[in-house]
Amino acid sequence: MTTQQTILITGAGSGIGRATARAFLEAGWRVALMGRREEPLRQTAEDHPALILPGDVTVPADVDRAFARVEAEWGRLDVLFNNAGAALKGTLIDEIAVEDWLNVCNVNITGMFLCARAAFGLMRRQSPQGGRIINNGSISAYRPRPGSVPYTMSKHAVSGLTKTLAVDGRRFDIACGQIDIGNAASEMTAGFSAGMPQADGSIKPEPVMDVRHVAETVLHMAGLPLDVNIPFVTIMARDMPFLGRG
User: Can you name the residues that pair with 134 across neighbouring β-strands?
Assistant: 81, 177
Angle between helices 98-105 and 149-168 (to 10 degrees): 20
- Centroid of chain to Cα 3: 25
Q: Which residues are bridge partners to 179 per DSSP?
A: 136, 233
Is 142 a catalytic site residue?
no
Tell me how long the chain is: 246
Residues 6+ positions from 38 with CB-CB distance below 8 Å: 52, 54
Exactly one of 81, 113, 151, 242 is catalytic; name it.
Answer: 151
Reduced to 3 states, what is the DSSP secondary structure of residue 126? coil
Q: Which of 50, 48, 40, 83 lies closest to 222 in space, CA to CA?
A: 83
Q: Which residues fall within 8 angstroms of residue 140, CB to CB, at 6 or more apart?
A: 148, 151, 152, 155
The secondary element (H helix, E strand) that includes residue 73 is: helix 60-74
| Spatial CA neighbour of 186 closest among 45, 57, 11, 60 | 11
Q: Report the distance separating Cα 23 and Cα 27, nearest Å.
A: 6
Query: Which positions are catalytic?
Result: 151
